[in-house]
Amino acid sequence: MLVLIGCKLKIYNTIMKKRLKFRLGDLVMVVLMITLFAGTIRNSQAQNVKSHPRVFFQKDELKEFADMRLTTHKNEWESLLLICEKLNKMEPIERPKSKLVFSFPEKLAAVALVQLLDPKQKYQKTFEKHFWTILKWKEWDKWIEGKGKGPGGDLGIAQALIALTACYDWQYQNFTKKEREYINQRLIRIAHHFYEDYSRFHTNSFAIMNCNHGTNVYAALSAVLYGVDDVPKEYQKEWTDCLEHKYETLTSQMNSLMSDGFSDEGATYFMFQLKTYVQWMELRRNALEKGYGEPYQSLDWFKNASSYCMYSILPGGKDNFGGLARYADANPKFWGNPYSVFPALAKNLQDSIAQWLSSKLELGEVELWRAEKKTEKDQDQKSNFDVWRYIWRDASVPAVDLNTLPNWHFFEDAGMYVWRSSWENDASYFTIKSGQHYQGHGQPDDGQFMIHRAGVPYIIDMGYSYPKYTNEHNVLLVNGKGQVGDGDIWSEFGLYPENKDIWGKTDVILSTGKQDGSDYFNLICDPSNMYPLEELEYWHREVVGFNGIFLMRDEMKAKQDVDFELLLHSYTSRQGKKDAYVYDKDRNVNPFKSEKGREWKIDPRKGKAPLLVIKDLSNETWIEKVEEAWFYDNYLRKKNGVGHVQLGNVIKRKQHSSEANSLLFFGFEDQLEGREIKPLKKEDGLGIYKNGKLETEISWSEKAKTNQLNFKGEMAGIHFQDGEVKEYFGREVNALSRGNEMLLQSDKPISVHVLHQKEKLILHLSGNEKSVLSLSMSKKPQEVLIDGNSSNINWSKGVLIVPVGGNEKQKIEIILNN
């Protein structure tokens, strides 16, 4: 029995030892896991400490950013200190005004950055008194409770969120743990309500996303998502899914339908949209720990955005009353600061045009909220560089030499063509547009064109109207009706890009740019699809630009007799005005001076600027009259509550028929000295005579009664210098001659411009098919270059044969054997 008991006890002890060993092992494992978990938490907390700053730049860049204030960024640093000093003298804003909300938190972010980069500065308490006041505004809570639109509406809320998050990120080390928790909770609560409340977060419409309001709020949500700590996981997922969907939707068009860098909202709102796009991209890039260059280098829209801005700026220097080409709801000034936005593109793309815009562009004023514009110093943004310029600027990127840029550009997606006579401030400027539309601040304006010179508007766009009408533009009305979106407050163009069937088109047939005193372009706009009227079959608008003069030929056809009405707008501007919307005394001054022979002269400055001559050369009769031009000016509407005002006058040219043609001549009087413009008989065209001798002849008909020009094709022209042929051109021509002297023949229709120089001929060509070109030439040339490549010379009996490729534009240089 004892032996049995002893055996049982031995077995029991063995089992207990094993159990105890197992339990001790479990205990050790649990303790180890707790220790590791605690270490993970500590490491996580430490990582959070290390992870700030992180929203717009990384912690390992901090020393570089601090050192820049002593080297490449001295001016920017001085400007930030001025902002700090200004806020130091201000009392906290207890009750936010809408316009101040939009910009004041951004100034506070400058203080946060200054104290981060140089903690010895004296503005820490300045930062704290303003930061806590803004963060605790009661208006945030009232908005969340459904009792208002929030401080500054969606635009102000978004910019405030971006700035406050940046402040938190840059001042993280100076907040206590309790303060951080409060800031996090506060910003998350505001951002979540914003996400729940604002429709642009929940839309699938490209048009609603791709406007300055949309990109602004996506940047704001990104700031809180990537910059604030302890965002609840369910919010993280919701917000991330939303933002990535918006990112994929918007960037999917940046290499296709929007690749040329344009904005249907016009250059004014483009600037703010670009700013918020860049804020969003920079937040996302830093969160994903991508290096500089992404995603910009893979998206064509960003690559071409600086060109869109550059060619939208009108010549004129400090007296640039026109400011910007006013397509869509564009006013004459930027809404946002180009000195702040373009450094990001220059840095990420090594973009020399962006660098020029951020360093060389001279603007007396950029458009900011009027509450900010109290003094001349405030208006000059170059003396008030902001926080974004400091963190985005790369001084090593060279600025482009403007003289190396072409004096013309075609934005194919927008259907927008721009030409300027030079890059000087006294240059002439012509632009026309017919292309795609989405929504936002776009207008029903396909076929619209403008002419400016040296900062003075001549043929104009009326600007930001509310609602928007086609008759505010230099376009066609049919039976008094306009284009898709006519009369809407926000023009309804349909879903993008499914609305392709309404888009207008622009075809730039040839544009040579300046070369040896010659400059030629020929283009055709087709805005027909933008007219919802069943009666209209088509409206084509062709422009020939030739050495500073412009010919505009309109061709329209309807299924039945209708009222065709073509419009031309102009107004009187005032030299030196800082705000283009303060010219009340001149709004009712008629700039059109009627002359004999269906001619007008535009006097835009009461005799203090060159006059623009307009001559009706149409062979058909148009009933013409000049009337006052009235519209609903959005800015004056906000000022006086009405806004229905006169803005200059409009020439209305009307014809009742089923088919009609119109030909107008535009040229500046001081450049036409000693010249007489005569219409051709029977058909559309003209002759320009200098001191009684034929200098230029252009025609749209083979049957026209011309002096020297003969051709077979759609349009042709010839220009003489000292009695010799200097240049000639044509669209879809098979033959072109001076009297009986053959100049050019082609077996297929081609479009061509030929310039005679002393030692060579320069040809620009385009054609839809491969063809054989024959040129009259008394001697065999030394060399023929096609797009810079040497080609075989096929010359015999005074004729040079040149093969021409189809479906592309070519440049041919023929070196003469004099």
**Interval 651-664 mean pLDDT:** 98
- Per the rule left: phi > 0, alpha: psi between -120 and 50, beta: everything else, 682 is left
Residue with tokens 């009108």: 314
Q: Residue 196: which residues within 8 A CB-CB, separation 6 or more?
A: none
3-state secondary structure of 738: strand
Cβ neighbours of 619 (radius 10 Å) = 17
What confidence score (pLDDT) does residue 585 get?
A: 72
The yes-or-no verdict on residue 611 having pLDDT over 50 is yes
The mean predicted confidence, pLDDT, of the chain is: 89
Burial class (CB in 10 A: 0-12, 13-18, 19+), 177: exposed
The CA radius of gyration of the chain, in Å to the nearest whole number, is 33
Lowest pLDDT segment from 1-10, 12-21, 111-120, 584-593: 1-10
Rounded percentage of the chain residues whose pLDDT exceeds 70: 89
The span from the CA of 475 to the CA of 465, in Å, is 16
Cβ neighbours of 792 (radius 10 Å) = 9
Q: Are 780 and 814 in contact (CB under 8 A)?
A: no
Separation in Å, CA 493 to CA 324, 438, 442, 477: 24, 6, 9, 18
Q: Are 523 and 508 in contact (CB under 8 A)?
A: yes
Q: Are 676 and 689 in contact (CB under 8 A)?
A: yes
Q: What are phi and psi of 645, to 5 degrees?
A: -135, 160
Greater pLDDT, 635 or 683: 683
Separation in Å, CA 36 to CA 29, 33, 229, 619: 10, 5, 22, 91
Smallest CA-to-CA distance from 668 within 508, 416, 456 is with: 456
What confidence score (pLDDT) does residue 581 get?
A: 53
Greater pLDDT, 318 or 155: 155
The span from the CA of 116 to the CA of 137, in Å, is 25
The 3-class SS string of 424-472 reads CCCCEEEEEECCCCCCCCCCCCCCEEEEEECCEEEECCCCCECCCCHHH
User: pLDDT per residue over 352-375, tens digit each?
Assistant: 999 999 998 876 544 443 333 444
Burial state string for 551-582 with b = 16 or more CB within 10 A and e = fewer than 16: bbbbbbbbeeebebbbbbbbbbbbeeeeebbe
Strand pairing class (724-738; 715-721): antiparallel
Separation in Å, CA 785 to CA 190, 802, 814: 65, 10, 6
**Interval 134-147 mean pLDDT:** 95
Smallest CA-to-CA distance from 683 within 655, 652, 716, 653 is with: 716
**Interval 684-690 mean pLDDT:** 96
Label residue 455 by pLDDT band (50, 70, 90): confident
Cβ neighbours of 57 (radius 10 Å) = 18
**Interval 631-653 mean pLDDT:** 84
- H/E run at residue 418: strand 416-420
Rounded percentage of the chain residues whose pLDDT exceeds 90: 74
Lowest pLDDT segment from 208-222, 274-288, 309-323, 518-532: 309-323
The yes-or-no verdict on residue 6 having pLDDT over 90 is no
The yes-or-no verdict on residue 710 having pLDDT over 70 is yes
Cβ neighbours of 350 (radius 10 Å) = 16
What confidence score (pLDDT) does residue 50 get?
A: 45
**Interval 269-273 mean pLDDT:** 92
DSSP H stretches of helix in 288-327:
300-312
Sequence letter at residue 546: F
Note the Cα 604 to chain centre separation in Å: 27
Widest pairwise Cα distance in the chain: 146
Structure tokens at 346: 């220059």
User: pLDDT per residue over 395-438, tens digit each?
Assistant: 999 999 999 999 999 999 999 999 999 999 999 999 999 999 98
Residue with tokens 């004459």: 332
The yes-or-no verdict on residue 748 having pLDDT over 50 is yes
Q: Are 767 and 751 in contact (CB under 8 A)?
A: yes
Its CATH architecture, for the domain 674-818, is Sandwich (2.60)
Note the Cα 491 to chain centre separation in Å: 19
Smallest CA-to-CA distance from 479 within 553, 532, 435 is with: 532
Residue with tokens 């339908």: 257
What confidence score (pLDDT) does residue 25 get?
A: 46
Q: Are 744 and 800 in contact (CB under 8 A)?
A: no
User: pLDDT per residue over 49-82, tens digit each?
Assistant: 348 999 999 999 999 999 999 999 999 999 999 9
Report which DSSP code applies to 123: -
Q: What are phi and psi of 651, to 5 degrees?
A: -85, 125
What residues pair up with 613 in beta bridges, in sequence order? 601, 667
Cβ neighbours of 752 (radius 10 Å) = 28
- Per the rule left: phi > 0, alpha: psi between -120 and 50, beta: everything else, 668 is beta
Greater pLDDT, 10 or 515: 515
In 492-595, the DSSP E strands lie at 505-511, 520-526, 536-546, 549-570, 592-595
Sequence letter at residue 810: Q
DSSP 206-229: HHHHSSHHHHHHHHHHHHHHHHSS
Give me the count of residues in the chain.
Answer: 818
* Cis before 781? omega within 30: no
**Interval 459-479 mean pLDDT:** 94
What confidence score (pLDDT) does residue 363 get?
A: 66
Smallest CA-to-CA distance from 212 within 122, 135, 144, 277 is with: 277
Cβ neighbours of 407 (radius 10 Å) = 18
Model pTM?
0.91
Residue with tokens 């050495």: 547
- H/E run at residue 114: helix 98-117
Q: What are phi and psi of 274, to 5 degrees?
A: -65, -40
The span from the CA of 94 to the CA of 153, in Å, is 17
**Interval 114-133 mean pLDDT:** 98
**Interval 619-648 mean pLDDT:** 86
The yes-or-no verdict on residue 577 having pLDDT over 80 is no
Report which DSSP code applies to 768: S
The yes-or-no verdict on residue 171 having pLDDT over 60 is yes
What confidence score (pLDDT) does residue 793 get?
A: 92
The span from the CA of 82 to the CA of 114, in Å, is 11
Strand pairing class (599-602; 549-570): unpaired
What confidence score (pLDDT) does residue 155 get?
A: 92
Q: Are 306 and 357 in contact (CB under 8 A)?
A: yes
The span from the CA of 766 to the CA of 787, in Å, is 13
The 3-class SS string of 746-804 reads EEEEEEEEEEECCCEEEEEEEECCCEEEEEECCCCCCEEEECCEEECCEEECCEEEEEE
Burial class (CB in 10 A: 0-12, 13-18, 19+), 589: middle
What confidence score (pLDDT) does residue 555 get?
A: 98
Separation in Å, CA 51 to CA 84, 184, 286, 791: 26, 15, 11, 62
Q: Are 208 and 200 in contact (CB under 8 A)?
A: yes
Sequence letter at residue 255: N
